[in-house]
Amino acid sequence: MALKLNTNGPFLQSQKLSSFALPPMANNLSLRSPKFVMASTLRSGSKEVENGRKPFMPPREVHVQVTHSMPPQKIEIFKSLDEWAEQNILVHLKPVEKCWQPQDFLPDPSSEGFEEQVNELRERAKEIPDDYFVVLVGDMITEEALPTYQTMLNTLDGVRDETGASLTSWAIWTRAWTAEENRHGDLLNKYLYLSGRVDMRQIEKTIQYLIGSGMDPRTENSPYLGFIYTSFQERATFVSHGNTARLAKERGDLKLAQLCGTIASDEKRHETAYTKIVEKLFEIDPNGTVLAFADMMRKKISMPAHLMYDGKDDNLFENFSAVAQRLGVYTARDYADILEFLVGRWKIEELTGLSGEGQKAQDYVCGLPPRIRRLEERAQGRAKEARNIPSAGFTTGK
């Protein structure tokens, strides 16, 4: 497949370009890893508007949307766990007064030294390569689509916030989790704005499109599927923010490293909470939970921002993912590592007393990480081969 050649980076202020197109080498590395094949968008041929889309209706999901797949009687499990959640899950929230705020990591606009602090920030940012900013922008856009993630949690039967201010532990968790998460996009957004390195208007449009498109992570209103999904995602964001912290440190920008590392530590705390919920489900209902785990992994964990669109580039998310992969911020190997971590965390291999179907699900998830790694190595090999053939410079190597 021929890929669009555009040597300009996406969202970068220096080029003032709107597209998320990448240098040719990056396109070569656009591996169809498990993570990337999830970009299930409809390439609509409709003539309704330019780009084949309604102006506020970005790509739609192509898969069948399944709802309420959890048997209604299982809702009782979550109702009966309310007190358990209060004692075991809400403790992973931090009191607001003890939380960091974006302002702790940014120049203080009310101080005399504001301009000087901004200049320092911009000087430090000059040492950071464009590719890094592409990934940071992608991370920020993902965080900024937070309304979608709160909506997703509130689709889950038995744990949704029924009133918007419900006093169940599940609802308290979801609201407070959202409030903690809200600082992530806020901090990254303000940092990127001050850095002067990115095209803010284009980014803001992309956020608007992304929130408008929503997402269907295929959790089917089931808290089993939903909490497996969030366990995976919190760890994925922990890994990726941790890697942007590491790369900033390597470039000598310790303040940016601290900013990203602080977000990563929040993600880690959230991962702890969500994996604990699923651990409890394994204790109460091992068969149902292992089936849900296998189901979620068969469908693959779609990235929250996989419907990312900027009004022009149909492959925006794939291109962002390719840069993240190339920089080592979030790779197909990370996907396998996260899965392997969860298999160990929930002691899947040790589950006993499963039904025949449950045993199959157990075997499937336990064998999946090495399978993904093998596929990944093969894809890497193919990408390498393609790079060695000069005339194949603009093909995917597939």
Q: Cβ of residue 160: shortest distance to Fe ion, in angstroms?
A: 19
User: Is 143 a known active-site residue?
Assistant: yes
- 320: which DSSP letter? H
Annotated catalytic residue, options 173, 270, 295, 346: 270
Q: Cβ of residue 315: shortest distance to Fe ion, in angstroms?
A: 24
User: Is 100 a known active-site residue?
Assistant: yes
Annotated catalytic residue, options 267, 295, 334, 376: 267
Cβ-proximal residues to 102 (8 Å cutoff; 6+ apart), any chain:
183, 186, 187, 190
Ranked by CB distance to Fe ion, the top (closest) residue is 184
Nearer to Fe ion, 27 or 189 (CB): 189
Q: Cβ of residue 213: shortest distance to Fe ion, in angstroms?
A: 19
Residue 234 marked as a ligand binder: yes
Nearer to Fe ion, 130 or 234 (CB): 234
Nearer to Fe ion, 197 or 270 (CB): 270
Annotated catalytic residue, options 86, 92, 100, 340: 100
Burial of 108: CB neighbours in 10 Å, binned 0-12, 13-18, 19+:
exposed
User: Is 306 a known active-site residue?
Assistant: no
Annotated catalytic residue, options 220, 266, 295, 376: 266
Q: Cβ of residue 234: shortest distance to Fe ion, in angstroms?
A: 5
- Enclosing H/E stretch for 271: helix 254-284
Q: Any long-range contacts for 97-104 (C-beta under 8 Å, 24+ apart)?
A: 99/180, 99/183, 100/183, 100/262, 101/183, 102/183, 102/186, 102/187, 102/190
Annotated catalytic residue, options 131, 173, 180, 184: 184
The span from the CA of 146 to the CA of 290, in Å, is 28
Q: Which residues pair with 57 in a beta bridge?
A: 54
Annotated catalytic residue, options 186, 216, 234, 376: 234
**Among candidates 171, 147, 149, 175, which has minimal Cα distance to 160?**
171
Binding positions for Fe ion, rule: CB under 5 A:
143, 181, 184, 234, 237, 267, 270
The span from the CA of 250 to the CA of 259, in Å, is 14
Residue 120 marked as a ligand binder: no
Residue 181 marked as a ligand binder: yes
Residue 270 marked as a ligand binder: yes
For residue 41, the SS3 value is strand
The string of DSSP letters for 324-375 reads: HHHHTSS-HHHHHHHHHHHHHHTTGGG--S--HHHHHHHHHHHHHHHHHHHH
Nearer to Fe ion, 19 or 219 (CB): 219
Q: Cβ of residue 341: shortest distance to Fe ion, in angstroms?
A: 16
Residue 116 marked as a ligand binder: no
Nearer to Fe ion, 160 or 184 (CB): 184
The span from the CA of 83 to the CA of 89, in Å, is 10
Q: Which two tokens stand for residue 182?
A: 């809200």
Annotated catalytic residue, options 237, 262, 275, 289: 237
Residue 271 marked as a ligand binder: no
Q: Which residues pair with 277 in a beta bridge?
A: none
Nearer to Fe ion, 140 or 343 (CB): 140
The label of the residue with tokens 């890094």 reads 132
User: Is 123 a known active-site residue?
Assistant: no
User: Is 234 a known active-site residue?
Assistant: yes
User: Is 266 a known active-site residue?
Assistant: yes
Query: What's the start-to-end Cα distance of the chain, in Å?
Result: 8
Q: Cβ of residue 230: shortest distance to Fe ion, in angstroms?
A: 8
**Among candidates 269, 270, 278, 267, which has minimal Cα distance to 345?**
278
Q: Cβ of residue 244: shortest distance to Fe ion, in angstroms?
A: 12
Distances (CA, A) of 342 to 77, 179, 274, 296, 345: 22, 26, 11, 13, 5
Nearer to Fe ion, 26 or 203 (CB): 203
User: Is 184 a known active-site residue?
Assistant: yes
Question: Which of the residues are catalytic?
Answer: 100, 143, 181, 184, 234, 237, 266-267, 270
Instruction: Report the binding-site residues.
Output: 143, 181, 184, 234, 267, 270
Instruction: Report the binding-site residues for Fe cation.
Output: 143, 181, 184, 234, 267, 270
